[in-house]
Amino acid sequence: MKRTRRRSNRAPAARAAAALIIAGGRGTRFWPESRAGRPKPLFAIDGRTSLLAGTIARMRGLIPPARIFVVVSADQRRPFRKALRGILPAGNLFVEPEGRGTAVAIAFGAAKIAKKLGADTALAVMPADHHVAPADGFRATISEAFDLARAHDAIVVVGVTPASAETGYGYQQIGPALGSGYKVARFVEKPAPAVARRMVKSGRYLWNAGIFVMRAGVFEAELRRHAPQLAAAMERFAAVGARELPEVYRSLAFDSFDRVIVEKSRNVIGVRARFRWFDVGSWQGLWDALRSDAAANVLSGNVIAFGSSGVLARGGERLMVLLGVSDLVAVDTGDAILIARMSAAQEIRRVTEELARRGLKKFL
């Protein structure tokens, strides 16, 4: 008897879907590697592939490049256009007149995608600067989220099993099961240390990864319900030209997409991530993402370490030698060297503020 090969139901779903990647932020806490002309999404964790390129690559096999779009602000258009050359079609870079937060950026991108592909297009919205592994687990999670979003006409949020009681992340409380997902009972943003420990210990909370899946039409309906001014602006985004767009933007003042829509909506479903996730927001965050244990060093480039532990070092053309040091970040970019305690890594923004005060713009 001749066997009929089963066809995957993933391909049709992918053809009806699109990805919207939000690539905002300069990433001042990654100075001296991240600068005005080299924003954080273009930072390469491994020294080769940028965070943005890695985000796009993870979509391979699920969404074709022609349906992957990136949103940036006008002041960062040039480096992103150069970085995306040969990776995505030129028209898939959407440029905002200015950064106005993720709620506005998503509304802007969703309006342009709906005009190109139709209001029934399912969108996977994600930041450009997160570290995720493995890629196949990411694709499986997003595919599952697409299924849930279509089946329930809902906004689907990705929840990550916490590796620790982080106080800088948002959390989502797991509610009743719903198909392969769950209803989100509530969101908790950046809890106090004791609260974070209790939540993680309970096993009923997941990190909120800032990844959303929804139909463009569902998103627009939620905007009309919770942010009618932004819904009206979304209609104009698709109609006005580049000259009129700054005027539309000038009147918009909204918080993040989480606060404006997700935390208010009653139409939110969660799906568990099948991948490891890090919001790599600082040198210490990068060390946490890449280290193998508490004492591990994370070294790249021309670096040799002796008797050292808990070090993140990134060398350049010059040889960097570390001897008997710990709790350290050392970065050499050729024109600047950063040496800081790991525990002070969150304060590196003070460096860029001081450089600006001294008029040292070439280092910013």
Q: What is the pLDDT of residues 54-85, one digit of tens each?
A: 999 999 889 999 999 999 999 899 999 999 99
**Are residues 89 and 31 part of one domain?**
yes
Q: Which of 166, 161, 162 is nearest to 190 (CA)?
A: 166
Residues 161, 18 share a domain:
yes
Domain closes at, from 278, 300, 323: 278
pLDDT-based confidence at residue 283 (cuts at 50, 70, 90):
confident
Strands 205-215 and 303-306: unpaired
Residue 3 has pLDDT above 70, yes or no: no
Among candidate residues 278, 298, 333, the one where a domain is terminated: 278
Within 10 Å of residue 245's Cβ, how many Cβ atoms? 18
Q: Residues 177, 152: one domain?
A: yes
Find tokens 């969703």 and name the residue: 110
Contacts of 224 (CB under 8 A, 6+ apart): 231
Residues 212 and 90 in one domain: yes
Nearest of 329, 331, 334 to residue 344 by alpha carbon: 329
Q: Does 199 reside within a domain?
A: yes
Residues 289, 274 within the same domain:
no
Whether 3 maps to a domain, the answer reads no
**Model-level pTM?**
0.87
Which tokens go with 40?
A: 């954080």
Tokens coding 333 = 């970019």
What does the alpha-carbon distance between residue 154 and residue 147 come to, in Å, rounded to a whole number?
Answer: 10
Q: What is the CATH number of the domain that holds 208?
A: 3.90.550.10
Is residue 72 domain-shared with residue 178, that is, in the same domain? yes
Across 107-116, 134-143, 238-247, 328-337, least confident range: 238-247
Instruction: Collect all residues with Cβ–Cβ distance below 8 Å to 24 and sequence separation of at least 6.
Output: 71, 72, 73, 99, 102, 105
Q: Is residue 5 part of a domain?
A: no
CA 357 to chain CA mean position, Å: 30
Asked if the structure places residue 4 within a domain, the reply is no
Are residues 244 and 121 part of one domain?
A: yes
For 5, the token pair is 């090969």
* Omega of the bond leading into 191 within 30 degrees of 0 (cis): no
Coil/strand/helix, residue 104 = helix
Name the nearest CA neighbour of 234 among 114, 128, 123. Answer: 114
Number of domains in the chain: 2
Rounded Cα–Cα distance for residues 315 and 331 (Å):
6
The residue behind tokens 């997003």 is: 142
Residues 25 and 44 in one domain: yes
Banded model confidence at residue 15, pLDDT cuts 50, 70, 90: low
Q: Is residue 337 part of a domain?
A: yes
The arithmetic mean of pLDDT across residues 285-306, rounded, is 86
Residue 174 located in a structural domain: yes
Query: DSSP states of 242-297 as a string?
Result: TTTHHHHHHT-----HIIIIITT-S-EEEEE-SSEEE---SHHHHHHHH-SSTT--
Task: Say if residue 225 is in the same domain as residue 312.
Answer: no
Residue with the two structure tokens 């040496």: 339
> Is the model's pLDDT at 159 over the cut of 90?
yes
Amino acid (one-letter) located at 144: E
- For 29, 299, 323, 328, the CA distances from 32, given in Å and listed in that order, are 9, 16, 22, 15
Neighbours of 302 (CB within 10 A): 15
Write out pLDDT tens, residues 104-158. Answer: 999 999 999 999 998 889 999 999 988 899 999 999 999 999 999 999 999 999 9
Give 30's DSSP letter. Answer: G
Range of 32's domain? Answer: 10-278
Contacts of 360 (CB under 8 A, 6+ apart): none
Whether 64 and 143 map to the same domain: the answer is yes
* Same domain assignment for residues 305 and 327: yes
**In angstroms, what is the C-alpha Rg of the chain?**
21
Kindly state whether residues 186 and 79 are assigned to the same domain.
yes
Q: Report the C-alpha gap between 232 and 241 in whole angstroms.
A: 16
Give the pLDDT of residue 56.
96
